[in-house]
Amino acid sequence: MTEKKTLKRFASVFLASSLIVGALAGCSSSEGTKTEGGSSSSSESSDVIKIGANLELSGAVASYGSSIANGAELAIEEINAAGGIDGKQIELVKVDNKSENAEATNAAIKLATQDKVTAMIAPATSGNAIATAQIANQYKIPTVTASGTAPNVTENEDGSINDYVFRTCFIDPFQGIVAANFASNELSAKNVAIYADNASDYAKGLAASFKEQIEANGGTVVAEEAYVADDTDFKSTLTRIKSANPNFIFIPGYYEEVGLIVKQARELGIDAPLMGADGWDSPTLVELAGAEALNNTFITNHYSSQDPEETIQGFVEAFNEKFSESPNAFHALGYDTVYYIKDAIERAGSTDGEAIQKALAETENLSLITGTFSVDEKHNPVKSATVLEYVDGNQKFNSKVNP
């Protein structure tokens, strides 16, 4: 009994002390940043440009958010080492939004009113990015999402544009068009099948634009099937697809299911080329499908770390040095987002929100890691997509497709 009691007391003392230590560490760090911010705003307000990062650092899609944060940190480190923007250093203010809409709104309000940032990096997923759009417009803070690919992030349902919201990535329908053109031109596919995730707007959007483009290219959709996220057995549907005898199958979706689909398709003897989009891009895909099954499959993506271009290889090397891993598309997009904002601030010549907004909208032929782009009237970058081929479990750079 006494032993039990001491154990309990011991445990609670341990927990209490760790909590206090944690809270103290928290306090000290917050004071640290606060005093930094305070001194900079009072005496030398023009020496620091604050960029807020409202990202998914915990929760369901934490890997996207933290990848973008890493990419952004690398870019800021480089810019600061090279003298900053017009002599001003950049400070990144990171806030976690737990991958939740409400938290994303809270974080945006916090960045706008408490930290008074010059520009914001919006959340990685489209829904969370939309949750910050009205705040950005209200406080006139230019906001750029690195990877929110849904068209309605920048364009509202009624056709109006969110003035202060921009993005670094291309939008979903574009990938479908690229895939369709690749299928008709490179693989000369005539009879195609579509097998899409029915529970995600991302996949549905891709499937719709692919279908439209492939039919415009003279192809025929011989089978159109759907699955739902978290399914694990796709064989019956795949058998149906096989009997339609397509010579190309488009499978927009995320890597968890796609890995199994590819594996089961090959087991059933479907040897037609398979193609997907950036949702496939994960090392888990190779584990699930197996290297051999993935041969003769293609994806469209934002960039490839194996792109032979010099600037890309320089980025890959710098990233490897700092984080000892090869950068994925989210790293590259996070990195590019900072440079995109930097370019606009430089051209605007001030840290005024309206001036930066205008400069972002007028961006032309900006050369970044994920491609050279100009911004269209819907605040979407017009940029190239990269087509990758899986060869023995490795992504191999195939080609770049311009819009």
CB of 144 to other proteins, least distance (A): 18
Whichever of 58 and 296 has its CB closer to other proteins, that residue is: 58
Residues 6+ apart with CB under 8 A from 249: 192, 193, 194, 195, 241, 265, 270, 272, 273, 274, 275
Strand ranges in 111-160 using DSSP code E only, listed in sequence order: 119-122, 143-145
CB of 37 to other proteins, least distance (A): 12
CB of 177 to other proteins, least distance (A): 19
What is the C-alpha separation between 363 and 373, in angstroms, rounded? 8
Whichever of 54 and 181 has its CB closer to other proteins, that residue is: 54
What is the C-alpha separation between 130 and 122, in angstroms, rounded? 9
Whichever of 8 and 240 has its CB closer to other proteins, that residue is: 8
Whichever of 20 and 291 has its CB closer to other proteins, that residue is: 20
Other Cβ atoms within 10 Å of 58 Cβ, number: 15
CB of 184 to other proteins, least distance (A): 29
CB of 340 to other proteins, least distance (A): 23
The helix/strand/coil state of 37 is: helix
- The DSSP line for 57-75 is -SSTTHHHHHHHHHHHHHH
Whichever of 114 and 185 has its CB closer to other proteins, that residue is: 114
Whichever of 331 and 342 has its CB closer to other proteins, that residue is: 331
- Do 163 and 356 contact (CB within 8 A), yes or no? no
Give me the helix-helix angle, 310-323 and 62-81, nearest 10°.
110
Whichever of 148 and 371 has its CB closer to other proteins, that residue is: 148
What is the C-alpha separation between 376 and 381, in angstroms, rounded? 6
- The DSSP line for 62-123 is HHHHHHHHHHHHHHHHHHHHTTTBTTBEEEEEEEE-TT-HHHHHHHHHHHHHTS--SEEEEP
Q: Measured between alpha carbons, how far is residue 126 from residues 114, 172, 375 in Å?
A: 24, 11, 18
CB of 22 to other proteins, least distance (A): 5
Structure-token pair, residue 368: 């970044």
DSSP character at residue 254: -
Residues forming the site for other proteins (CB under 8 A): 8, 11-12, 15-16, 18-19, 22-23, 25-26, 29-30, 57-58, 60, 94-96, 98, 100-103, 105-107, 109-110, 112-114, 126-127, 130-135, 150, 152, 156-157, 198-202, 204
* Total residue count of the chain as it appears in this document: 403
Other Cβ atoms within 10 Å of 265 Cβ, number: 26
CB of 29 to other proteins, least distance (A): 7
CB of 127 to other proteins, least distance (A): 5
Buried b (16+ CB within 10 A) or exposed e, 345-373: bebbeebebebbbebbbebeebebbbbeb
CB of 65 to other proteins, least distance (A): 9
CB of 18 to other proteins, least distance (A): 7
- Do 168 and 284 contact (CB within 8 A), yes or no? no
